[in-house]
Amino acid sequence: MSDKSDDPIKRVEEQLKKCVKCGACRANCPAFTAFGREPAVARGKVALAQHILKNDLELDDGTYEAMSRCLLCGSCVEKCPNDVPTDEIVIAAREALAERRGLSTFHRAVGQVIKNRSRMKMGAKAASVLGALFFRKIPENSGLRLRFPLPFIGNERHIPQIAAKPFMETHPEIIPGEPGKPRIVFFVGCMTNFVYTGIGEAVVKLFRHLGCTLIIPRGQQCCGLPGMSGGDAETVRSLAESNLAEIEKFDADYVTSACATCGGALHRLYPLVVGKRNPDLRARLDVLAAKTVDVSQLLAKMGLDPAKTGGGDKKLITYHDPCHLRTRGITGEPRALLRDAPGIELAEMDGADRCCGLGGTFNVYHYNSSMTINEAKSMAIISTGADAVATGCPGCMMMLSDGLKRNGSTVEVVHTLELLARNL
Ligand code: SF4
Ligand code: SF4
């Protein structure tokens, strides 16, 4: 338990006062779409957090459940006339609940896995073997595949194949570039390392094409965001500290990630959860945040000419904005790169800026609601008639694939960089 000055709910006391209960945050709130009840929307979360602050609310399962009904998508923040940062408030409230009630069994298990690299690697290896044994033999559209039961994951989801070899085991720690060109730390992230290794390959190809030195620190770990979904700030703080120490070893010009969620953790979440507890660590994290840029921003900054990369044989592409890029204002760069790549025609979908329904572990905890939210996204993608949907987050890719397959669609799901690197 933290001392009074560290109390997470106290951290947002001033922001809580700014809510005037106008309800403008209802528009576009995916949790409200799924649950249709006031406690699911930002105004309800703010009211709940005010009671947690006043300590006049029983912190029972109902309170915990109500606070879990948020995808931290930030749509409400964009709609709020008073700039109430509901996503930060929900993070603080979850942290306070975890401190006062303890973590749920599920989130305790998540914390144990994400802060232990060898445990995570072992899990991925087991999943890759099991995937090979069970899934490859089952046709893509088989009812058995649709209903294969997995613990914590639900009965009807399409899960992506785990890579036979993690991305980080296929490249050296330092890939030297041309003298005088920037040194870039690549924060890989778990989904790229264990599942979507093609994204990592695209990063390597594109930055080699630009002559940059690419550094893939061996000791990097999970960014910690899955822990934050359940209020496990201790795990996030410990991962922030170890990832920071690992990145600092290389004195890079930039730190980049092809995962919107990991980039968001390095850029915004780490300074937020460390707050005033540890001023030295906070100052170092602020330096890290200033150096952290999304791959699409960095490629544009480095002068990548998409005309020289080639977009492959896909013609019509639609783009989905990951929440963790949109809330950092990164919406134009990926579109510009795609628009300028040969062979690509960009078709905007309705609600490209709407959440896909993932929301960290929300998708596991509230799978059916998550898929209800995803349904509109799948329909919007299919309506464009696009050959593929591109995005900047492997988590969104998993969610989009799941939704599209459930709807019988064959629209390909790709990372923006995979399209750009396809012909290099
Ligand atoms: S829009 Fe902002 S001020 Fe209005 S109810 Fe929602 S959080 Fe409160
Ligand atoms: S962050 Fe997203 S899901 Fe959570 S209350 Fe705001 S709009 Fe709703």
Distance CA 2, CA 4 (A): 7
Average pLDDT over residues 388-407: 95
Average pLDDT over residues 359-364: 84
According to DSSP, the β-strands at 213-215 and 174-175 are antiparallel
Instruction: Indicate the pLDDT class of residue 28, thresholds 50, 70 and 90.
Output: confident
Instruction: Indicate the pLDDT class of residue 45, thresholds 50, 70 and 90.
Output: very high
At 31 the pLDDT is 92
What string of DSSP letters covers 99-140?
HHH---HHHHHHHHHHT-HHHHHHHHHHHHHHIIIIITTS-T
Q: What is the DSSP letter of 303?
A: T
4-102 against 308-421: fold identical: no
At 374 the pLDDT is 95
Output the six-digit token pair for 225: 């965001």
Options 3.40.1210.10, 3.40.395.10, 3.40.50.1860, 3.90.550.10; which CATH number does 308-421 get? 3.40.50.1860
Distance CA 290, CA 285 (A): 9
Mean residue pLDDT across the chain: 88
Output the six-digit token pair for 15: 């922001």
pLDDT tens profile 111-169: 888 887 777 777 666 665 555 544 444 444 444 444 444 444 444 667 788 898 999 99
Nearest by Cα to 158 from 410, 403, 326: 403
Q: Write out the H or E segment, with its range, that includes residue 213.
A: strand 213-215
Among the bound ligands, name the one nearest to the CA of residue 362. 2
Cβ pair 240, 197 in contact under 8 A: no
Instruction: Indicate the pLDDT class of residue 5, thresholds 50, 70 and 90.
Output: low
Any ligand 1 atom below 6 A from CB of 80: yes
Distance CA 287, CA 267 (A): 10
Among the bound ligands, name the one nearest to the CA of residue 18. 1
Give the domain ranges of the chain.
4-102, 308-421
97-101, 260-264, 323-327, 382-386: segment of lowest average pLDDT: 97-101
At 135 the pLDDT is 45
Among the bound ligands, name the one nearest to the CA of residue 31. 2
Q: Does domain 4-102 have CATH number 1.10.1060.10?
A: yes
Probe residue for ligand 2, chosen from 86, 324, 369 as the CB with the greatest number of ligand atoms within 8 Å: 86
Side chain identity at residue 19, one-letter code: C
Instruction: Indicate the pLDDT class of residue 410, thresholds 50, 70 and 90.
Output: very high
- In the block, tokens 């730190």 appear at 255
Residue 223 CA to ligand 2 center (angstroms) comes to 21
Does the pLDDT of residue 53 top 60, yes or no?
A: yes
Nearest by Cα to 87 from 327, 257, 312, 318: 327
Sign of the dihedral defined by the CA atoms of residues 233, 239, 242, 243, in that order: negative
Distance CA 136, CA 202 (A): 25
What pTM was estimated for this model as a whole? 0.89
Distance CA 307, CA 6 (A): 51
Any ligand 1 atom below 6 A from CB of 29: no
Any ligand 2 atom below 6 A from CB of 67: no
According to DSSP, the β-strands at 254-257 and 316-319 are unpaired
At 131 the pLDDT is 52
pLDDT tens profile 320-343: 999 999 999 999 999 999 998 888
At 216 the pLDDT is 98
Percent of the chain past pLDDT 70, that is, above it, reads 89
Tell me the helix, strand and coil percentages in the chain, rounded to 5. 55, 10, 40
* CB-facing half-sphere around the CA of 37: CA atoms within 13 A: 9
Question: Cα 67 to chain center, whole Å?
Answer: 19
Closest residue by CA, ligand 2 atom 8: 29
Question: Cα 181 to chain center, whole Å?
Answer: 29
At 58 the pLDDT is 82
At 161 the pLDDT is 82
Instruction: Indicate the pLDDT class of residue 407, thresholds 50, 70 and 90.
Output: very high
At 308 the pLDDT is 81
Distance CA 171, CA 214 (A): 10
Residue 361 CA to ligand 1 center (angstroms) comes to 25
Does the pLDDT of residue 19 top 90, yes or no?
A: yes
**In terms of pLDDT, which residue wins out, 325 or 226?**
325
